[in-house]
Copies of this chain bind each other. A is one copy, B any other.
Amino acid sequence: MIRVGIAGATGYTGVELVRILSRHPQVRIVAGTSEQYQGSALGAVFPHLGEEAGALELLPLEAERLAAACDVVFLALPHGVAGSVAPALVAEGVKVIDLGADFRLRDPEAYRAWYRHDPAPAELLAEAAYGLPELYREAIRPARLVANPGCYPTSCALAAAPLLKAGLVETRGIVFDSKSGVSGAGRGVSLGVHFGEVNENFKAYSVAGTHRHTPEIEQTLSDLAGEAIRVTFTPHLVPMTRGILTTAYFQLKEPVSREAVLEVFRDFYRGAPFVRVRPAGNLPQTKEVWGSNRCDIGVEVDARTGRVLVVAVLDNLVKGAAGQAVQNMNLLFGLPETLGLEALPVYP
C-alpha cells in the first residue's frame, strides 16, 4: 500500500483527493494537514465522509512529519507555499504532486511576473514534470515532483493538442472561451462566491490575457507547435458547482473536413483512457463527465469561415485537479493509469 499524505486536506481539492483516494485499492491515507482545522478530525469538518475517511486527524503543515510518514504527498496549498515545502519532501525521497501553480511554469521570471511571488528553487523547478499525462506521460513516470496542471489549461491543452501537433491550424489568433463552475474558486469565502451573487448570474472575469492560466496554456501550446504561441483566453463563471467547458476557436490553414479532423483527434488520443473523442455531430456537456476523470471532446468545422471549433469538457475538481493528480500518482508508482479512477460520471 502506498502511504499518502494530503497537505491542505480541507479545501475543495483536498477533500476531493480524500474522496478518490479513500476508494483507491493501493492507497492508504496516512496524513492530512489543515491550517484552519488542525487538531480536528476530518469528519468534523466534512460529515459526509463518514467514520472511516472522517477519522483522519488534521495536522499542521510540517514537512518532516509528512516525509516520515508518507511515500507520496499531494500539495493542495495556496500559491507560494508549495515551493517552500516541496524541497524538503523531495530531499527525503518522498514523491510530490503539487496541485498549485508553483512548479507549472518552467520560466521562473514568468512565475514571478504572473503570480507576484518568488518562484520555487530553480533546480527543483527544472526537474518538475508537467503532469498532463496525455501529453507528457513519459516525463511523468520517473519524476520526483509533478506539477499538476490548472483546470482551465487542462481543457485548453487537450482541445488544441491534436490540431497543433498535426499542423492543421494557424498558430496565431487562437481563442479559448472557457466557462467554469464555482468550485474552481475554492472553499474560501468571498463576495465572489456568495450564492446571491452567483446564482442566476453569468459573468466573464480576468479577461484580455490577465488570468494566470494564460502563460501555462501558452507554454504547453508552444511545446506542441514548436514555436512561441500567444492565445486569447477568457474565463467565465457559470452558476453551477462543478464543470469546465472550453470552446476553442482555430483557423484552418487549408479546408479540411470534420471527419478528417476527428480522425486526427482519434489517432492522437488512442491509448489515452480518460479522453473520449465524441462522434461527429455529438458535442459533450459538462454534466456528462461530472464526478469522473474524463475529458470529453467534440469537434466541428465551419466551412463558411474556415474555422475548427473544439468543445472540451471536464470536471474541474477531478480531471482538472484531484483526479488528474491521482492519475499522475498511478504513473509515478507504475500502477495502471486508471486505478481508482474508474467511476462513471454521476448523471443526472
Contact = CB atoms under 8 A, between A and B. Distances in A.
Interface of A: 12, 15, 19, 22-23, 46-50, 53, 173, 175, 177, 179, 181-183, 187, 189-191, 193-205, 207-209, 230-232, 234, 236, 238-243, 245, 247, 249, 251, 276, 278, 282-292, 294, 296, 300-302, 304-305, 307, 309, 311, 313, 342-348
Given A197-B348, A236-B247, A348-B196, A202 B300 contact: no
Contact of A285 (B50, B182, B203, B346): B203
Contacts of A342: 23
A241 to B, nearest CB: 5
Given A15-B347, A291-B291, 16 more contacts: A23-B343, A23-B344, A47-B288, A48-B290, A50-B344, A175-B249, A177-B234, A177-B247, A182-B195, A195-B241, A196-B241, A200-B200, A202-B285, A202-B287, A207-B302, A232-B302
| Identical copies in the complex | 4
Contacts of A196: 12, 182-183, 187, 193, 241, 348
List 7 A-B pairs, minimum CB-CB distance, nearest first: A48-B288, A201-B287, A203-B285, A208-B300, A208-B302, A196-B348, A177-B177
